[in-house]
Amino acid sequence: MTLFKSPAVATLTLACGLAAGGLSASDRLVHDGEFMVDGMIFGLPEARVYTEDYSGPPVVGDYLTAVPHLAELDYDGNRTHEVRMDVISQQIEVAPGKFYNAWTFGGSVPGPTLHVREGDRVVFTMKNRSDEPVVITEPVAGGSPFFGQIQANPIQNHQPAISPMPHSMDFHSGTVAANDKWQTIPPGVTIQFEWVANYPGVYMYHCGTPSVLMHTAQGQYGAVVVSPKEGFPVEADREYVLVQSEFYLTEDEYSGGYRYDHAAAMARDPSQVTFNGHVNALHDEPLRANAGERVRLYVLNAGPSGTSSFHVIGAIFDRVWYEGNLENEWRGMQTVLLGASNGAVMDFIVPEAGSYKLVDHEFADAERGAAGTLVAGPRKQ
Amino acid sequence: MRTLLILLTLSLPTAAPADDNGIVFIDGGDWELPIVREVATGSGRVDDFLLDARQVTNAEFLDFVRAHPEWRRDRAPGIFRDARYLSHWPQADALGESNARPDRPVTRVSWFAARAYCRELGGRLPSMTEWEYASERQRQSVGTSPEDYARELFSWYANPGAGSLRSVAEGEAPGLGIHGLHGLVLEWVEDFQLVLGRGDDIDLLTGSCGDTARFLPEFDEAHYATFLRFQSRSNYQPDTTTSTLGFRCAYDPE
C-alpha cells in the first residue's frame, strides 16, 4: 500500500485547481463568519447539540481505520469529510486476562484513526451512546473500514457494555473555541461541529470532560493524521500508526474484573503501557516490511500522563517530522521524546531481514508493555 | 399511601429512623459542600428536612403514571423528557422483568418527571446540598472510611450494573436508616447543575479539561469519587434519562 503523494503531482493539482478557479480563497469559506488568516480558516459556526434517532454504525467515514492502519487519501486537493464517532462503552482486554469496561470512541482503545489532508474540512458528529449496548465485532452496513479491521484482528475482544456518563470530544487537530465545540453532552444527546485541518500533524483527540484524567485513562482517545498538503519529500513504502498509552487498572472486588484505579493514575503508576491498546498488539500481529524499505510511523503518545522515548532497536530514524509538520525536520534520530499528546512522523530504513523491536526506551514503560515488533523480510528488488 | 406515611412519620419523634417504606428525618447543621464552588464560602446552614429512605420504585412510578396519564411515555411532551423516558417498561403502563420489575428503582425518568412525582406526594426533590449532606451524615453514621467509600463508588462508575439493577432497600438500612445512596443509581436533585463563573462567562462544568482542581479541597480518591457525582449530574439536561438515574423525594418538616 503506497499512500505517498508526490510533491510534483500535488503542485500540478494545485495549479490546475487555481487555473480552473476551483481553489480560490473564498470558495474554501463555507459559512457566514468564517475568515482566513495566512491561508487558514477560522471562525467556524457554533456546534449544534440535538437529539436524533440513530442506532447505526458508531463509526462512519471512509478515512477512519483501526490502528495500525492508515486510510489512503485517494483524492486530490481538499475535500469535506463527514465523520461520525459515537461514544460507546465497551469491555476490552489490554493484556491477557485484564478486562475492564472502557469508555471509548467507536468501541476500541485507542479509537479509530482519522486521516485527512491539510486544508480539509471535517463535519464531525458524535452521539453519546454510553447508555446502550453497541456491538462492533459484527459486520456493519455503512460503517467505516475501521470495523473490518477490528473484526480481522479483535485482540481487545470487544464486548458491549453500558456505563452512562457525560462525555465530550476534543480534537487537537482543530482550532476552535473549546467551550463550544468541545462541550460535554449527556447520554442520548448528539453534538455536531466542524473543524478545518489548518496544520499538518499527528494529533490526539480525547474526551475533555472532567475528570479528564479518568476519561482519558478509561480509553477515550485516538489519533488524527493530517498529511501535509504538499506531501512528504520522500516516498514511504509502508505506513503504520502507533498510539502509546497507559492503563491504570486494579482488581475490582465487587465485579471480579478490573477497573480504573484513580490513585494509581494520580501517582502516574500504570498497570500497563501499550502500543495500540494491548501489550501484545504488535507482537501477535507484528508490523511488516522488507529490507531496504522506508517505513513511516505516525506515532502519538496519548498519555494520559506519561512520556514516550520512542526507539526502534536496530534502526535510526532517517527523518523525523516532529508533530508531523515538514517544517520540524530532524535527521538521524535514535530516540524521539514525546510528551503526553505529542506526535511525530518517523521514517526509518529497514537495514536487513530480521525482527525489530519498537520500544519506549523509558524501560519501566517497556517492561509494562510498551513494546512491539516489526518483522522484516528479505530485500525485494 | 406515601402521603399517609409522611403524616405518620411527622407524628413520630424527630430522631426516629424509618422502616423500609418510610421517610427519614435529617437534622440540619452547619456544613460545607465537599466540592468547592467558585469561591470558598465556608460552612453554610442546612435546615432540618425529611428524605425518602430509598429510591422511588417502578411500581410507585407506575401508580403515578396511571393517576397522571399525561406522564405516560407516549403522552409526556417531548420537552419534558428525552426519547428513552421509561423505555425499559414493556408498555407505557405496565411493568416487566429485569430493570422493569416493580421493586427496582425507577430509572429513565427526567428531572421534570421526578419533580412532578414528588410534588404529587407533597414533597420535592432534595436540594444538592441536602442530598450531599445526607450522604456525608450517613457515611459518618456507618463509619465508612474514605477509602472504602471511594472504592465502592469507583467500582460503581466502572460497572454500574445497568443491565440488572438490584431492588431498592435490600437488607437492613444502616446508619441513619437510609438505603443505597451510593452504588445502585445516581439520583436527581433539585439544583443538579453547578453554575460556575469564568470571568464574565458561566459554565455548567461542561467545558473541556483541567477544571477539576478548582473544585477539590483534597486530591484524594474520595473527593474525586464525590466530584464525579457532581460532574455527572451537572452535565445532565432536565429532559435527560439514563438507565442508572433515579430519584427519591424530600419533604419540609411541618
Search chain B and give the residue with CA nearest A165: B232
pLDDT for the residue numbered A123: 98
Q: Check B206 against A183: CB less than 8 A apart.
A: yes
Non-local (6+) Cβ contacts of A188 within 8 A are A51, A127, A128, A131, B82, B83, B84, B240, B241, B242
Of B162, B209, B224, which is closest to A162 when you measure between CB atoms? B162
Could you tell me the pLDDT band of residue A15, with boundaries at 50, 70 and 90? very low
Q: Are A168 and A187 in contact (CB under 8 A)?
A: no
pLDDT for the residue numbered A254: 80
| Closest by CA position to A233, among listed A321, A322, A117, A119 | A321
pLDDT for the residue numbered A21: 39
Q: Check B159 against A259: CB less than 8 A apart.
A: yes
C-alpha span between B105 and B54 (Å, rounded): 9
pLDDT for the residue numbered B193: 84
Neighbours of A362 (CB within 10 A): 19
Of A162, A165, A170, which is closest to B208 when you measure between CB atoms? A170
Assess whether pLDDT exceeds 50 at residue B11: no
Q: Are A117 and A78 in contact (CB under 8 A)?
A: yes
Query: What would the mean pLDDT of B233-241 be, rounded to a whole number?
Result: 93
Query: What would the mean pLDDT of A19-29 be, rounded to a whole number?
Result: 61
The region of weakest confidence among A138-152, A251-265, A278-292, B202-216 is B202-216
Distance of CA B235 to the CA centre of its chain: 15
Q: Check A51 against B83: CB less than 8 A apart.
A: yes
Q: Check A51 against B241: CB less than 8 A apart.
A: no
Could you tell me the pLDDT band of residue B213, with boundaries at 50, 70 and 90? confident
- The minimum CA-CA distance between B210 and chain A, rounded to whole Å, is 7
Q: Check B162 against A163: CB less than 8 A apart.
A: yes
pLDDT for the residue numbered A335: 98
Mean pLDDT of chain A: 93
Integer CA distances (angstroms), A227 to A82, A121, A376, in order: 18, 13, 26
Q: Check B227 against A259: CB less than 8 A apart.
A: no
Assess whether pLDDT exceeds 80 at residue B17: no
What percent of chain A clears pLDDT 70, i.e. is strictly above it? 93
Distance of CA A96 to the CA centre of its chain: 23
Q: Check A188 against B241: CB less than 8 A apart.
A: yes
**Domain boundaries along the sequence of chain A:** 7-227, 238-377
Of B155, B237, B243, which is closest to A259 when you measure between CB atoms? B155
pTM over 0.80: yes
Which CATH architecture best describes the domain A238-377?
Answer: Sandwich (2.60)
Query: What would the mean pLDDT of B82-102 be, rounded to a whole number?
Result: 96
Does ipTM exceed 0.90?
no
Neighbours of A1 (CB within 10 A): 10
Task: Please name every residue paired with A50 in a beta bridge, in sequence order, or none if there are none.
Answer: A190
C-alpha span between B145 and A2 (Å, rounded): 59
Q: Are A275 and A358 in contact (CB under 8 A)?
A: yes
Residue A181: burial class (beta carbons within 10 Å; 0-12, 13-18, 19+): buried
Q: Are A295 and A68 in contact (CB under 8 A)?
A: no
The region of weakest confidence among A40-54, A311-325, B29-43 is B29-43
Assess whether pLDDT exceeds 70 at residue A26: no
Could you tell me the pLDDT band of residue B172, with boundaries at 50, 70 and 90? confident
Query: What would the mean pLDDT of A332-349 be, rounded to a whole number?
Result: 98
Determine the residue among B206, B218, B232 to mutate to test chain A binding: the one whose Cβ has the most chain A Cβ atoms within 10 Å. Answer: B206
Assess whether pLDDT exceeds 80 at residue B20: no
Query: What would the mean pLDDT of B224-244 be, rounded to a whole number?
Result: 92
Assess whether pLDDT exceeds 90 at residue A19: no
CATH for A7-227 is 2.60.40.420
Q: Which residues of B are less than 8 Å from A208 in CB distance? A: 207-209
Q: Which residues of A are less than 8 Å from B156 in CB distance? A: 254
Query: What would the mean pLDDT of A130-140 be, rounded to a whole number?
Result: 93
Search chain A and give the residue with CA nearest B227: A211
Q: Which residues of A touch B (CB under 8 A)?
A: 51, 53, 100-101, 131, 133, 162-166, 168, 170, 178-179, 182-189, 208-214, 252-255, 257, 259-263, 266
C-alpha span between A184 and B208 (Å, rounded): 7
Assess whether pLDDT exceeds 80 at residue B102: yes
CB pairs < 8 Å spanning A and B: 127
Of A133, A183, A262, which is closest to B224 when you measure between CB atoms? A262
pLDDT for the residue numbered B209: 62
pLDDT for the residue numbered A23: 55
Mean pLDDT of chain B: 86
pLDDT for the residue numbered B216: 81
Assess whether pLDDT exceeds 50 at residue A9: no
Determine the residue among B209, B224, B229, B233 to mutate to test chain A binding: the one whose Cβ has the most chain A Cβ atoms within 10 Å. Answer: B209
**Domain boundaries along the sequence of chain B:** 1-162+216-254
pLDDT by residue (tens digit) across A65-85? 999 999 999 999 999 999 999
Query: What would the mean pLDDT of B99-118 be, rounded to a whole number?
Result: 98
Assess whether pLDDT exceeds 50 at residue B10: no
Residue with more model confidence, A95 or B33: A95
pLDDT for the residue numbered A1: 39
Residue at grid coordinates 463555507: A30
Query: What would the mean pLDDT of B187-205 be, rounded to a whole number?
Result: 76
C-alpha span between B154 and A249 (Å, rounded): 12
Residue at grid coordinates 538521524: A332
Integer CA distances (angstroms), A77 to A152, A242, A364, B109, in order: 31, 26, 44, 49
Non-local (6+) Cβ contacts of A97 within 8 A are none
Query: What would the mean pLDDT of B168-174 be, rounded to a whole number?
Result: 89
Integer CA distances (angstroms), A74 to A52, A78, B22, in order: 31, 11, 67
C-alpha span between B71 and B85 (Å, rounded): 10
C-alpha span between B161 and B19 (Å, rounded): 26
pLDDT by residue (tens digit) across B34-69? 876 655 556 688 999 999 999 999 999 999 999 999
DSSP state of B53: S
